[in-house]
Amino acid sequence: MKRKIQILLVVLLFLLLIAVRVFIQPYFYDPLIEYFKNDYLHTAIPNLDFSKFFLNIFYRFTLNTIISLVIIYLIFNDLKVIYFSIKFYVIAFVIFSSALFVFLKFDSDYKLIFYARRFLIQPLFVFLLLPAFYYQQLKK
């Protein structure tokens, strides 16, 4: 694939990640968005339909993961990198979704809930994996 097309596709995929954040957000069930926009320091966490909430977290995480994996593949063209990334994303989802569930169930500090949820709904891992793979590639 020509380098210019590859760069264009990567830019378009990053724009797609932004579009997921901006435009698709209202279609996901997440009452914590309004909670954290308002006076969260003085109000209780809203009642959640846990199954609906975690299903929507899973959908959003999966959508961001698929786009991120395509970005990683376009940049590195290495299936070993993709396999590692898939394992990383699965383990991260299990850890952060379990932590979020525990934090919500036992009324933990709002910061723990905020950051566990943020790692699940934002495509942060692609910004961690890209420099790590690039550094690994430089070392070879």
Q: Would you state the pLDDT for residue 52?
A: 86
Question: SS3 for the chain, per residue?
Answer: CCHHHHHHHHHHHHHHHHHHHHHHHHHCCCCHHHHHHCCCCCCCCCCCCHHHHHHHHHHHHHHHHHHHHHHHHHHHCCHHHHHHHHHHHHHHHHHHHHHHHHHHHCCCCHHHHHHHHHHHHCCHHHHHHHHHHHHHHHHC
* Residue 82 placed within a domain: yes
Least confident range from 23-32, 77-86, 98-107, 118-127: namely 23-32
* % of the chain exceeding 90 in pLDDT: 51
99 inside domain:
yes
Token pair recorded at residue 104: 């919500």
The total of structural domains in the chain comes to 1
Residue 106 maps to a domain? yes
Would you say residue 34 has pLDDT above 80?
no
Residue 67 has a pLDDT of 97
Inside any domain, residue 45 = no
Residue where the block lists tokens 């420099």: 131
Q: How many CB atoms lie within 10 A of CB 62?
A: 12
pLDDT at 72 over 80: yes
pLDDT at 17 over 90: yes
86-111 pLDDT, tens digit each: 999 999 999 999 998 998 888 777 78
Look at residue 83 and tell me if it is in a domain. yes
Residue 35 forms part of a structural domain? no
Domain contains 48:
no
Mean of the per-residue pLDDT values of the chain? 87
pLDDT at 45: 72
- Give the domain range for residue 66: 3-25+56-139
Q: What is the pLDDT of residue 33?
A: 67
What pLDDT, on the 0 to 100 scale, is given for residue 36? 67
Residue 51 falls within a domain, yes or no?
A: no
By C-alpha distance, which of 35, 91, 27 is closest to 59? 27
